[in-house]
Structure 1
């Protein structure tokens, strides 16, 4: 989701050793940071990771030096800021914020935290925005009775609804060529993985690619677009799996020993 990730697994846990004083722009290692469940991180340039944390009492977006102990809050306000996604060129960060009246709208800000721009303004909830591979469009979830997928053209400001169904649709991820989206949805009560064309119009049937688990969630395309990684609940915990789009094979990547969630492919597609 967003740019490729090739960092060692220990980086997922490194944040627990980083300190941050509430309201501070930058900090060094000290008291632990409370991440509250998920640590969402992404590669930025050569050295940085990006993630969300509730270190100062509300959800904010942070940058960390992957090879050091620097921690910097990207957006310095008292609102909830979540679901960060960096632009393909690494110059901007897209995110969802409650800054405009309590509901979540979409914003974009410079990588240094400068020049925030509000992209949506409504009384609905807009979540999980992600840049297209060319950086010209974004896709996101909007709560219109059910969570549906929408596309925003950043040049024209035009918003286009991609799904219109009586169930929820979550966590879209762009294919590398920008022609498809993978996401998870629950038309039959459990969650399965689906793929639609970005040219998709409401009323067309998406392709259900994974339906063998009670809960299959958070898909991520590999760099070739031929495989999709995802998390699934089986045998009492969450593990990672891959789906081969050509053969239809589902392969288990992790097994037992705790919950493994929210997979991301490395840039070469050889690691998750």
Structure 2
């Protein structure tokens, strides 16, 4: 197929959600909510003419490779050699001749299960779909596998596949096992018992949606318990649980008498995945008696986020200690550790002489990198945050990989040029530069494509610590001017359709809500005085889209007229919705939603914020909600750019 050309498209705004305390406003209209619809996913047999590109942002590892070495770290080599693509979560078959693993070799973001010989040869597909397929565990006789899948409903469940017949069974799908679907309801990290009769796993079923640093944080923490169920789906029981604790990644001892896991506070599942907080976060490796759930033993002590425990023998557990200091693979018996950064999920051969692990890298994806497309009519490509297309066919972004500078690109996402550079003088918290909490965010084009309004300063859960300003600059980087002044934290602006006004939010200890600035009159007026944020004018200028907080970690999308009337609530799920975007013609709204919860254990992620979130689309009135991504990573901020033609 010959190269396609991109069509000039109208404005679409990318918003990132922040936090606030608020109550539901009087007089609002709640539309009839409808059940989310399925993703339109492609298959290899489909031949669908592409309409264009959906640019989107993904926060996740830039690469992940499987390695094998001696137990002391010597003789390290890539497990799959030159066939390495993007692999993680390996598991050895009991006979030691083959290894199963998750791979995204069929598309960036599409997690599927594969197997290979222990020497890396003979790679073959085991479970393939457009859903998340991950965290495989192999039965001792090698005839079945248990794994996590989001198939048939998008919640993470434990499934079993019979490798001889191909039969698939949802092990955790029974009504008495499922929790409240309005709450977290994920079933994760299965582990098969040595006798093949039982499967242990972690789950957050029937826990609460909870943000970090109550009542500030938007990003979810996770409370996990350990459960055990018969391989036939019978005798489901909870083994280890405690309020405000997270117990994850169960592993059976070789004699089947104990199960090990990591233990971390629910609050610390936030710090465990933030590179600037992980050094001050602690977890321990523990175990309990399988029969009673008692005889709780902690096998480690001291600082460090300790995860991914694996019994090597009845008296020895291997695990990962992650963080900036002394990171690597450790042993509870004091054996020499493998001191190596960014190693994750180790597994050992049956005699303990060799270890397989993943090596991850968090270098951000370059703009324009191809992603797996769940919608057959659109090509998915990665782009940095807050992408927006102008009437002059240019895309502006916040270049988060370069401390949040403002960058303008051509319509195909190439040829970057910086129009505003973030410096130490841009903020009163220069020590936060590079953390994602400081930058020039949410750029918005004027109608003629000549001006960009944006905000610069300190944001998100650090917004109370320092001010932020709304600014304007020409598309060539000249003419910089302030829209707001003083010590308030003002940000996330959006131009009106006629270019005469800018809506923005204020959020600090003194003031909250939406404000509108009239450029000609140089006047500011109050639109709302509740915890509303990230406003965006519709392309026709008749409505403003924004996010409102109803409680801790509960955010929903609204629209309102610019005169403050006709408030309409568009989403109602307690999990939280945000990152909202208008489509080019204003008929659709896209956003990042958390309805289906976690796709993996929160503490296992690295260098991320929300650590999961799928892109959704709905009509502007809130109807016809449906997902357009299904990955285990944080996906958000879409920008649809149609092709100019359909050349073949």
TM-score w.r.t. the length of structure 1 is: 0.72
How large is the Cα RMSD of the aligned pairs?
2.0
Partner of 2:250: 219
Q: Once the 2 structures are TM-superposed, how far is the Cα of residue 68 of structure 1 from its aligned partner?
A: 6.5
In 2, distance between residues paired with 1:208 and 1:65? 36
Deviation readout 1:79-126 (Å, 9 max, x if unpaired): 311111111111111011111234111111111111111112211110
Residue number among 303, 306, 309 corresponding to 1:260 in the alignment: 306
Partner of 2:536: none
In 2, distance between residues paired with 1:261 and 1:101? 28
Q: Once the 2 structures are TM-superposed, how far is the Cα of residue 78 of structure 1 from its aligned partner?
A: 5.9
Gaps of 5+ in 2: 1-60, 209-222, 269-280, 318-648
Partner of 1:39: none
In 2, distance between residues paired with 1:107 and 1:114? 12
In 2, distance between residues paired with 1:195 and 1:212? 16
In 2, distance between residues paired with 1:178 and 1:89? 14
Structure 1 or 2, whichever has the larger Rg, is 2
Q: Once the 2 structures are TM-superposed, how far is the Cα of residue 67 of structure 1 from its aligned partner?
A: 5.1
In 1, distance between residues paired with 2:74 and 2:298? 34
Residue 115, structure 1, aligned to residue 145, structure 2: no
In 2, distance between residues paired with 1:238 and 1:196? 26
Structure 1 stretch displaced more, 137-146 or 60-69: 60-69
Residue number among 99, 113, 117 corresponding to 1:106 in the alignment: 113
Residue number among 185, 200, 207 corresponding to 2:237 in the alignment: 207
Partner of 2:230: 197
Q: Once the 2 structures are TM-superposed, how far is the Cα of residue 266 of structure 1 from its aligned partner?
A: 2.4
Identify the structure with bigger relative contact order (alpha carbons < 8 Å, sequence gap 6+). Answer: 2
Q: Is contact 2:103-2:112 (8 Å) kept?
A: yes
Matches within 5 A, 1:79-228: 79-102=85-108, 103-144=110-151, 145-164=154-173, 165=178, 166=181, 167-187=185-205, 188-189=207-208, 190-200=223-233, 206-212=236-242, 214-228=245-259
Deviation readout 1:41-80 (Å, 9 max, x if unpaired): xxxxxxxxxxxxx8xx521111113357322212234631
Matches within 5 A, 1:66-81: 66=71, 69-75=74-80, 76-77=82-83, 79-81=85-87
Q: In the comparison of the two structures, how many residue pairs are matched?
A: 213
Q: Is contact 2:285-2:307 (8 Å) kept?
A: yes
In 2, distance between residues paired with 1:180 and 1:60? 30
In 2, distance between residues paired with 1:176 and 1:142? 23
- TM-aligned CA distance change 1:90 to 1:104, over 3 Å: same
Partner of 1:240: 285
- TM-aligned CA distance change 1:67 to 1:241, over 3 Å: closer
- TM-aligned CA distance change 1:216 to 1:67, over 3 Å: closer
Q: Is contact 1:100-1:121 (8 Å) kept?
A: no
In 2, distance between residues paired with 1:78 and 1:257? 34
Q: Is contact 1:58-1:78 (8 Å) kept?
A: no
Paired residue secondary structure (2:312)? coil
Partner of 1:270: 315
Q: Which runs of 4+ in 1 moved over 6 A?
A: none
TM-score w.r.t. the length of structure 2 is: 0.32
In 1, distance between residues paired with 2:235 and 2:197? 16
- TM-aligned CA distance change 1:208 to 1:256, over 3 Å: same
In 1, distance between residues paired with 2:192 and 2:235? 18
